[in-house]
A and B are shown apart, each in its own frame.
Chain A
Amino acid sequence: AQKITQTQPGMFVQEKEAVTLDCTYDTSDQSYGLFWYKQPSSGEMIFLIYQGSYDEQNATEGRYSLNFQKARKSANLVISASQLGDSAMYFCAWTGYSSASKIIFGSGTRLSIRP
């Protein structure tokens, strides 16, 4: 069964610094996708970035980039120039290529940005 591991339950970062949130996954599937979602204190789930297992380049979306190392089965999220509004819970997630494929979430990392 697939498993997502986020080993950092909480992180504190100074505003404007870059931060890396760790994520490793365990799957025997050859084709899959990896997501990062942000959950602010208001509770909604906000999609940040997606990486397909066959994508050769790391995904980027504005200040977010995904450091994908397939052989190591890691998909770390990098946030450049952190802002106070980045304070939230961040979930790494996996999904398969089958139709109606569920998303499997990690346990999350709570990121707190210090002014």
Chain B
Amino acid sequence: EPEVTQTPSHQVTQMGQEVILRCVPISNHLYFYWYRQILGQKVEFLVSFYNNEISEKSEIFDDQFSVERPDGSNFTLKIRSTKLEDSAMYFCASNLAGGTHEQYFGPGTRLTVT
């Protein structure tokens, strides 16, 4: 069964460093998303992406964040200058047709900022 993959599974970085989290959505999916989950808290929406542009972003997704689909398979989240409060699990998700179709989640990348 096709699945969303994410790399790395765990990333440790120092405050102020740039990180890139990588995702490979399911191949025929058209809509892509990033969510984050701070330890012990609920999952929060960051950004949605369709047709090579951002569809919607949350208040969390400020100028320090950016997303890119550099080729036909990868979908990346970049944090330019990480802060301690960026420590969280970051989930990538994708779906075929947007709207109320099920979003398939990747296994997540745990980001630890020290």
Contact = CB atoms under 8 A, between A and B. Distances in A.
A63 interface: no
B50 A100 contact: yes
Interface stretch (B15-23, B70-78, B100-108): B100-108
B100 A101 contact: yes
B33 A99 contact: no
Contact of B107 (A43, A93, A101): A43
Contacts of A50: 100, 102
Interface of B is mostly: strand
Interface string B7-32: 00000000000000000000000010
A102 B56 contact: yes
Contact of A103 (B49, B50, B97, B103): B103
Contacts of B56: 100, 102
Given A35-B102, A45-B91, A107-B42, A99 B55 contact: yes
A12 interface: no
B42 A102 contact: no
Contact of A100 (B43, B91, B98, B110): B98
A91 B107 CA distance: 16
B42 A33 contact: no
B87 interface: no
A11 to B, nearest CB: 17
Given A44-B107, A102-B33, A105-B43, A95 B55 contact: no
B99 A101 contact: yes
A103 B92 CA distance: 12
